[in-house]
Structure 1
Amino acid sequence: MTSSTPAQEDGGATILEIGQQPGVWREVARRNEPATTEFLRAIIERPDIRVILTGAGSSAFIGDMAAAALRRHLGRRVEAIATTSIVSNPLDHLERHVPTLMVSFGRSGNSPESLATTALADELIDDVWHLVLTCDAGGALAKAHTGRANSAVVCMPERANDTGFAMTSSLTSMLLTCLRLLGPATAEHGEALAAAAEHVAGLQSDIATLARTKKRRLVYLGSGALEGLAQESALKMLELTAGEVDTYFDSPLGFRHGPKSVLDGDTLVVVYAATDPYTHRYDLDIIAEIRAQLGDDAVAVISTVPLPEEYGDAVVLPGLDGLDDALVALAYVVFAQYLALFTALEHGKTPDNPFPSGEVSRVVRGVTIYPMTRNGR
C-alpha cells in the first residue's frame, strides 16, 4: 500500500480502482491499433469463423456480457465458454474442423486454465487464432502469445491491472476493448459510458446507505448480456464480503421457476433494466411482483430511463438510453462494485484482501492441468 492509498476501512486500493474507470475507458475507447484491427479483419471475413470468448471467474463473465452484441455486430457464430469448462471437457467445446478465433481474457494471464485453454485449442483445432486481452504484459498468457503469427496480444492501460483482490477496472477495460475491436463500441460510446460512471460515483453516499441495511442475501437479475452482469455482481459481493453475504443471480423470467424461493424479508434484489423495450417489459413485471411481495425498499433498479410511476423509483444513468445492453453493462457494473465494496466495509472486511488467511487467492493456485491422452480422453 502506498501513502496515497486509502486505509482498508476507507476502501483501500479497491475504491480507487473503481473510481478510475471513467478515465481508463476514455483512454481505451480512443486507442488506435491498426495491426490488431487488420489481424482481426482478415479472420472475421471468413464466413465459417467461430469466435469463442473465454476466461475464468470474472473474466469468463466478460464473455457472457459481450457475446450477443458481437454475434449481432459480426454476423458470426460467437460463444462464451469459460476456460474452466474447456480445460475439464475440451472435446465438448472445441471443434477440430471449425476455424476458430479464441478471445482470451485474463487480468494477469497467470491462471493455469488460461494457458491450458489456448494450448488445447492449438492441439485440437486445425485452424485457430488467438486474441489475448490482458492487463499484464509480463503475464504468462501474454508472453506465450507475443510474436506468434496466429496471435495478437492487446494489453490494457497499466493502471487497469488492479492491485485489489476483486476485478474492477481490469474487467471493464477488457470488456470495452473487446467491444471496440470486435463489436459496436466507439470513442463516443466510451465518453457516454464514462460520464454515466461518473454519475454513479456521485451516488456513493446513497449506495453506502443501501449497504448499511446489511441484508443477509443479495439477488441480482438481468436478461441477456445483463444476466452475465448479474453473475459478475453476485460474485463481486461474495468475494468482497468473504462469503458473509449470500448471493444469487438469474434472469427475471428464470427467477420465477423455483429460485424465487430465496426471497425473504432480509433480501435485497437488484434488477438491471434492459434497454430493449420488449425485454424491458419483463423487467417491469418482476419489479412489480417483488415490490408487492417484499416492499419497495427490497428492490433496487438500475436503468437508463425512469420507470413508469406505478413501478416505483430507479437509479437512472443518463446518456445511455438505446445503447446495446453489453455497453450499458459497463456503467451498471460500477454500481455493483460500489455496493459490494461498501457492504464489505459494513462487515468489517479488508477489501484489498478479504481472505487474509489465503483461503481464496487473487490468482488461482493448486490447479493440476492434465495432458490429453492419445484418444483424447
Structure 2
Amino acid sequence: MTLTSREIASQPAIWRQALESRTARAAQLLVQPGARMLVLGCGTSAFVAESFAALREQAGFGVTDAAYASEPWTWRDYDVVLVLSRSGTTTEVIEALESLPAGVRTIAVTGVADSPVAGLADDVLLLDFADEESVVQTRFPTTFLLLARAALGEEMGSVAAEAQTVLSRPLDIDLEGLTHFVYLGSGWTYGLAQEAALKIREAAQAWAESYPMLDYRHGPLAVADSRSLVWIIGRAEPTLVADIERTGATVRVGTADPLVELAQAQRLAVAIAERSGLNPDAPRHLTRSIVLS
C-alpha cells in the first residue's frame, strides 16, 4: 500500500480526532458572525477556500470571499483574513499575509505550529494531527472542511462512520477503457470537484477536468465519449445525467457525503497512477510546499 493510500484510509480516524479535539476552536475562529471574511490559499488550499467561503456565506454568517493567494485581489475592507497552508511555508501565502492592511485580523489554518505562516497570523487553527508526509494532500483539506461544517452547525459525527464503511470496501470503478475524468459539483461541492480533478492530474498525470455542474452542458460536454467518466459530487440534475449518458460516457452520481466522495476520488487517482506504473507519492515536478527564492 502506498503512503498516499494509507493516508486516505486514515481519514475516518483523523476526522473523529478533529471533531473531538478541535470543534470548539474551529467554531471560535471560523464562524465570526457578521464579519466580512477573505479566505486565501494556493493549489488544493485555494479549492478548499472556495468551498469554505460558500459554506460560511450560505450559513448566514457574513460575506465570505475566496481568492488565490498568488493572485492580486480587490480589497473590500475585510474584517478577517483566513489563510490555508498545510506546510505553513508557502511563499505566496506568506507574502499575502505581509501585504495586508494594518488592523485586519488574520487566522491561519496549518499543520505546522512553528511555521512562518503560523508566526505571522493573529490566531492559528492547528491541524498537526492531520498533516501528511505525501506531497499530494488528502487528510488536511478534508479534515478542515469537516471541522468547518461542524463549526457552522452541521452534525458531522455520522460522516466519519460513513467514511469508515465506504473506504473499507474495494473501489467499485472499472478503469478499463477510461482515459478522461470529469468532476462536477454545485455550490460548496464545486471546490471538491476541482480538488478531485487536481488529484488525478497530480498523482496520475491523466486528463482530468472539473466544472460547475450545470455549466457542463455549455461546451465541455463536447469532448465526452465512451472514454469518459463523469463523477457528480453532491446533488445531481437528472436531465444533465441523461444528456451525459447520451454521449457514451459513464456517469457516477455520488450517494455518500461529499467529503466521503472526495476521499473515494482520491482513491481513484491512486488507482489510475498505479495502473500507469506511476508512484502517487512522488508526483512529477512537484514538492510538498512551494517555497520561492
1:341 corresponds in structure 2 to 270
Picking from 354, 358, 365, the partner of 2:283 is: 354
- Secondary structure of the corresponding residue to residue 84 of structure 1: coil
- Secondary structure of the corresponding residue to residue 330 of structure 1: helix
Cα offset, 1:157, TM superposition:
4.0
C-alpha change, 1:40 and 1:168, in structure 2 (3 Å) is closer
Residues 163-218 of structure 1: CA deviation (Å, up to 9, x unaligned): 1121000111122233344x224xx41x21111212321332424xx2x3252211
1:62 corresponds in structure 2 to 48
Q: Is 1:138 the counterpart of 2:114 in the alignment? A: yes
Matches within 5 A, 1:1-377: 10=1, 12-31=2-21, 44-45=32-33, 47=34, 49-85=35-71, 89=72, 92-95=73-76, 98-121=77-100, 125-145=101-121, 151-158=122-129, 160-181=130-151, 183-185=152-154, 188-189=155-156, 191-207=157-173, 210=174, 212-213=175-176, 215-241=178-204, 243=205, 245-274=206-235, 280=236, 283-294=237-248, 298-303=250-255, 317=256, 328-355=257-284, 359-365=285-291, 367=292
Bigger proportion of residues as helix: 1
C-alpha change, 1:259 and 1:112, in structure 2 (3 Å) is same
In 2, Cα distance between equivalents of 1:285 and 1:236: 28
C-alpha change, 1:39 and 1:343, in structure 2 (3 Å) is closer
- Secondary structure of the corresponding residue to residue 350 of structure 1: coil
Q: Is the 8 A contact 2:110 2:128 kept in 1?
A: no
Residue type of the partner of 1:75? F
C-alpha change, 1:78 and 1:205, in structure 2 (3 Å) is closer
In the alignment, structure 1 segments of 5+ residues that lack a partner are 1-9, 146-150, 275-279, 304-316, 318-327, 369-377
C-alpha change, 1:284 and 1:68, in structure 2 (3 Å) is same
Q: CA RMSD in A?
A: 2.1
Q: Which moved more, 1:254-263 or 1:72-81?
A: 72-81
- Secondary structure of the corresponding residue to residue 123 of structure 2: strand
- Secondary structure of the corresponding residue to residue 172 of structure 2: helix
Q: Is the 8 A contact 1:28 1:157 kept in 2?
A: no
In 1, Cα distance between equivalents of 2:275 and 2:115: 34
Q: Is the 8 A contact 1:70 1:184 kept in 2?
A: no
Cα offset, 1:144, TM superposition:
2.7
C-alpha change, 1:199 and 1:285, in structure 2 (3 Å) is farther
In 2, Cα distance between equivalents of 1:31 and 1:254: 39
Q: How many residues align?
A: 293
Cα offset, 1:39, TM superposition:
6.2
What is the aligned-residue identity percentage? Answer: 26
Q: Is the 8 A contact 1:13 1:352 kept in 2?
A: yes
- Secondary structure of the corresponding residue to residue 160 of structure 2: helix
Residue type of the partner of 2:228? T
Q: Is the 8 A contact 1:53 1:79 kept in 2?
A: yes
Q: Is the 8 A contact 1:24 1:157 kept in 2?
A: no
